[in-house]
Amino acid sequence: MNIQMVDVKSQYLKIKEEIDRGIQEVIDTTAFINGPKVKQFQHEFETYLGVKHVTPCANGTDALQIAMMALGLKPGDEVIVPAFTYVATAEVIALLGLIPVMVDVDGDTFNINTESIRSAITSKTRAIVPVHLFGQSADMENIMKIAEAHHLYVIEDNAQAIGGDYIFRDGRLVKTGTTGHIGCTSFYPSKNLGCYGDGGAIFTNDNELGALLYKIANHGQSVRYYHDVVGCNSRLDSIQAAILSVKLRNLDGYCNSRIKVADFYDASFADTEALETPYRASYSTHVFHQYTLKVKDGRRDQLKKYLDDQNIPNMIYYPVPLYKQEAFKASSNGLEFLPVTEELCREVISLPIHTEMDDMQLNYITDKVKTFFS
């Protein structure tokens, strides 16, 4: 059986006409850079997210970097990040001469632990970067309380949870990534809202920050050839914007398809004692960028080998804590061991999940996994 971790091709075929028309329009008008398609997508995305300002940019890593630049952080300032995440989050912090302070995560949600944030705050702390890992928001209400008490900025890395809802204790819903001072996302093709190349966006409800983010992404200028601040060149291509406009209209449907796959997996593995299915927090919907199991009987690597042998795609997100990465040995806070992060690196495995999966594929995968544990 042909199963893929992500099936961008089958998804494309369902919206081919609209996508092809959008791409062709950009070519016909030759408005490749900052064309009307970029502005159009920017405004559609602002409406979808319910935020005042979106700055489209070149990729999700740039989005994080531009966010850090806009906050005016100085070399030596400390930024708190989870140790269990994709490298980009900490990379841009180190790149700007800031210190990534890596803290532990929750064993159930895989997201940054609020107690660990509290203990990591020093007089040099300036910001917190929660990552909404695998499709579910971190505990933003508590994180914002800590941030307010210590006058810290919060940048949300929403690359994996775009399309989800954050649910306040009083029942109010907002889109994930829009509660902190700045939210960032990536349109990498495999993301829940992916384009056909690289792309990213930064969003905020703060008017001053909104203008500054836009300026920094565009060579520090708001009037052409007048440069107020040192910025960078980080643009979303018009062709990618045209693709994203079409895909944004389908995003809620895509998220629902992913949730259905997760529900199927959950039900299938309910009686498999060695497997812990993903926890769903009360304060966030889960849009399942990844479906990540914990293997509790110490056989994670054996399961991986078995799935590889059966040609069932699978991935370990993430095998190594950030503080053990060679790149951060010199630049981080010198940590050596965080218990939950270490445990997750040993136990997690992600199964195929995407918008085009059918019951035949799902039955095949779950039967094989259950056979392994029987």
Ligand X SMILES: *Cc1c(COP(=O)(O)O)cnc(C)c1O
Residues that bind ligand X (CB under 6 A): 59-61, 85-86, 88-89, 131, 157, 159-160, 186, 188, 198, 200
Q: Which residues contact 115 (CB under 8 A, 6 or more apart)?
A: none
In the complex, the smallest distance separating the C-beta of residue 226 from ligand X, rounded to whole angstroms, is: 29
Neighbours of 19 (CB within 10 A): 18
Q: State how far the alpha carbon of 231 is from the alpha carbons of 212, 234, 238, 308, in Å.
A: 10, 9, 21, 45
What per-residue string of b and e applies to 263-279 under the rule 16 or more CB within 10 Å gives b?
ebbeebbeebebbbbbe
Nearer to ligand X, 159 or 248 (CB): 159
Nearer to ligand X, 132 or 303 (CB): 132
Minimum CB separation of residue 201 from ligand X in Å reads: 10
Nearer Cβ to ligand X, position 35 or 199?
199
CA dist., res. 167 & res. 350, Å (int): 25
Q: Residue 92 or residue 362: which is nearer to ligand X going by CB?
A: 92
Buried b (16+ CB within 10 A) or exposed e, 317-345: bbeebbbbbeebeebbeebeebebbebbb
For residue 59, the minimal CB distance to ligand X (Å) is 4
Least Å distance between CB 198 and ligand X?
6
Q: Are 277 and 265 in contact (CB under 8 A)?
A: yes
Smallest gap from residue 160 Cβ to ligand X (A): 5
Closest residue to ligand X, Cβ-based? 60
Nearer to ligand X, 96 or 211 (CB): 96
Instruction: Answer yes or no: are the C-beta atoms of 203 and 219 closer than 8 Å.
Output: no
Instruction: Tell me how far, at minimum, the Cβ of 106 lies from ligand X, in Å.
Output: 16
Residue with Cβ nearer ligand X (92 or 209):
92
CA 310 to chain centre: 29
Give residue 220's identity as a one-letter amino acid code. Answer: G
For β-strands 153-157 and 182-186, DSSP reports them as parallel
Smallest CA-to-CA distance from 216 within 92, 58, 70, 59 is with 70
The least distance separating ligand X from the CB of residue 190, rounded to whole angstroms, comes to 8
CB of 272 or CB of 290, closer to ligand X: 290
CB of 151 to ligand X, least distance (A): 25
Q: Toward ligand X, which CB reaches closer, 36 or 197?
A: 197
Q: Are 290 and 160 in contact (CB under 8 A)?
A: yes
Token pair belonging to 325: 């990465």
Structure token digits, residue 216:
């920094």
The distance of closest approach from Cβ of residue 186 to ligand X in the complex, given in angstroms and rounded to an integer, is: 3
Nearer to ligand X by Cβ, of 157 and 347: the residue is 157
Shortest reach from residue 302's CB to ligand X, in Å: 27
Query: How far is Cα 358 from Cα 365, in angstroms, rounded to an integer?
Result: 11
Closest CA to 107 of 343, 351, 277, 298: 343
**Which CB, 186 or 285, lies closer to ligand X?**
186
Q: Determine the Cα–Cα distance for residues 12 and 266; give it in Å rounded to an integer.
A: 27
